[in-house]
Amino acid sequence: MVDPDRQRAVLRELAVASEASRAAISLQWAALHRDAMSRLYHAAHHWACALLAAEGIQVRGRRRLRELFAVHCVAGGRIESKHLETLARLDTWRKAADYEPAFEIRPELFEEEIERASELEQRVVELLREAGYEINA
């Protein structure tokens, strides 16, 4: 049986991730690729946080997230390393999009990244369901 506090924490993270993902897609449609990439990173961040929340781990900060995700999810064999690479790459794009005025995101790059982020989301949801979490998405 899943701990009710963990269930709530997982659902909160997934709700924030879903909102960020929808925002990323809306921004993409508006041709605001820099902002779309930033929101896509935040979606991936919260998908990873949801998986850690299922372990009872709360994350504060981007750097700590990647470290905890690597140790508890990837090194533990729960999730493939390509998903950690997606998270790291999206963080790199997010920083460039947010802080480097000359940085441009080609629509094709965003399409590639949204596909990889979607794979991360699907894997996280699959793992959570396998662990007994009730996920509506």
pLDDT tens-digit readout, 81-99: 999 999 999 999 999 999 9
pLDDT at 125 over 90: yes
Residues 6+ apart with CB under 8 A from 44: 17, 86, 87, 90, 117, 120, 121
Stated pTM of the model: 0.94
How high is the pLDDT of residue 2? 85
The domain locations on the chain are 4-130
In whole numbers, what is the pLDDT of the chain averaged over residues?
A: 94
Task: Determine the average pLDDT of the residues in 126-135.
Answer: 94
Least confidently predicted of 11-15, 57-61, 77-81, 97-101: 57-61
CATH T-level topology, domain 4-130: Four Helix Bundle (Hemerythrin (Met), subunit A) (1.20.120)
